Copies of this chain bind each other. A is one copy, B any other.
Amino acid sequence: MHEFQLINRYFSKLTSKNKNSLNLNDDVFFDKSKKLVVSVDTYVEGTHFINFKKPDLVIKKIIRSSISDIICKGVKPKYYFIAGSGNKKSFTPTNLKKISKSLKQEQNKYNIFLCGGDTTYSDKLSFTVTCIGFSQKIIFRNNAKLNDDIYITGNLGDSFAGLNILKKKIYTNSLLNRYFENKYYLPNLHLKLSKKLLSFANTSIDVSDGLITDLEKLINKQKLSYNINLNSIPISQNLKKLIIQKKLNKLSYISRGDDYQILFTANSAKSRIINKTAKSLGIKISKIGKICSNSQKSKIIDQKGNKIDVKTKGYFHRF
């Protein structure tokens, strides 16, 4: 069973009396009257991170993945709570020092504060991060409009290349190794863009499960489809090189997630302000397609104009 099915079937009804809950159909919870935004995410060793050999980097990735949920909604994160379950091997004094140092660095970078949590013994290492921000409004899912342009920040696919290098599925030189591994561990979040998004994005999500999966999540309750140009999907010069060198499939690389870029849609009249914002903040923002009516099926078009199937949609938790 997909986690979406699980939530829809067993848990959505628990929120029915509560209009603020978004029926669990968003990455964050928003209480408009309290101006409160909350996200909760769990990270399990072996599933969300390979291992704990680099606790400093794992912790940074976990914190960034968590606050990314809130940032992509147009909200600045303020507090975080971290609940760690692990054993003596994971929580050695050396590792604890590294964890503490990494948290401090992330706090300074994103202006957030540790406000609590829990530490429990378990032979399986996992972390649950609760993140809280405050805002008058947020950008919801399922609020795309017909003919909206679809945008993405930064580049996609570098993180998946990093994962493959860490898993020793791809071999390359040490410079490229370091570049991609850093992209895997240290996603670059666009905190400065966050508040600006509220003025032009109709709907938004962070790309954590993969571009196509997250795009489908973004409009899953709407009678709409999407039309994406493969050529417009932004990738780094380093990934371009790697794709040519190793004969990789671009589409499978941009569909595997862990990118933490912001995917959003906006009215075409907003394209000037979006370009201006991108320039002034020094953030790459690419137009990659359009929101269409559901009289046509969602499609991805390659450079020759051919419609292509998406086989690797992204990551789902199955139970």
Closest beta carbon of chain B to A47's beta carbon, Å? 6
Contact A319/B121 with A115-B29, A116-B21, A116-B28 known, Cβ cut-off 8 Å: yes
From 1 to 52 in chain A, residues with beta carbon under 8 angstroms from any chain B beta carbon are: 1, 3, 6-7, 9-11, 13-15, 17-18, 20-21, 24, 28-29, 31, 34, 36, 38-44, 47-48
| Residue of chain B at shortest CB distance from A84 | B42
Complex CA–CA separation, A222 to B14 (angstroms): 43
| Residue of chain B at shortest CB distance from A24 | B116
Contact with B along A114-146 (1 / 0, CB 8 A): 111111111110101010101000000000000
Q: Do residues A14 and B113 form an inter-chain contact, with CB atoms below 8 A?
A: yes
Q: Do residues A130 and B85 form an inter-chain contact, with CB atoms below 8 A?
A: no
Complex CA–CA separation, A85 to B48 (angstroms): 12
Q: Do residues B107 and A44 form an inter-chain contact, with CB atoms below 8 A?
A: no
A44's partner among B40, B121, B319 (CB-CB below 8 A) is: B121
From 87 to 109 in chain A, residues with beta carbon under 8 angstroms from any chain B beta carbon are: 87-88, 91, 93, 96-97, 99-100, 103-104, 107
Q: Do residues B132 and A97 form an inter-chain contact, with CB atoms below 8 A?
A: no
Residue A318 CB within 8 A of the other chain: yes
Residue A200 CB within 8 A of the other chain: no
Closest beta carbon of chain B to A97's beta carbon, Å? 7
A29's partner among B79, B96, B119 (CB-CB below 8 A) is: B79
Q: Do residues B319 and A116 form an inter-chain contact, with CB atoms below 8 A?
A: no
Q: Quick one: which of A107, A116, A134 has the most chain B CB within 10 A? A: A116
Closest beta carbon of chain B to A275's beta carbon, Å? 34
Residue A86 CB within 8 A of the other chain: yes
From 249 to 295 in chain A, residues with beta carbon under 8 angstroms from any chain B beta carbon are: none
Complex CA–CA separation, A163 to B316 (angstroms): 37
Complex CA–CA separation, A318 to B119 (angstroms): 9
Closest beta carbon of chain B to A37's beta carbon, Å? 11
B contact residues around A79 at 8 Å (CB): 29, 31, 38
Residue A310 CB within 8 A of the other chain: no
Complex CA–CA separation, A87 to B85 (angstroms): 17
Q: Do residues B319 and A42 form an inter-chain contact, with CB atoms below 8 A?
A: no
B contact residues around A42 at 8 Å (CB): 83, 85, 118, 120, 128
Q: Do residues A38 and B100 form an inter-chain contact, with CB atoms below 8 A?
A: no
Residue A317 CB within 8 A of the other chain: yes
Closest beta carbon of chain B to A317's beta carbon, Å? 5
Q: Do residues A122 and B114 form an inter-chain contact, with CB atoms below 8 A?
A: no
Residue A81 CB within 8 A of the other chain: yes
**Cross-chain pairs A/B with CB under 8 angstroms, 15 sampled:** A3-B119, A3-B120, A6-B119, A11-B103, A11-B117, A14-B103, A17-B113, A24-B114, A40-B117, A41-B83, A42-B85, A43-B120, A119-B317, A121-B319, A122-B124
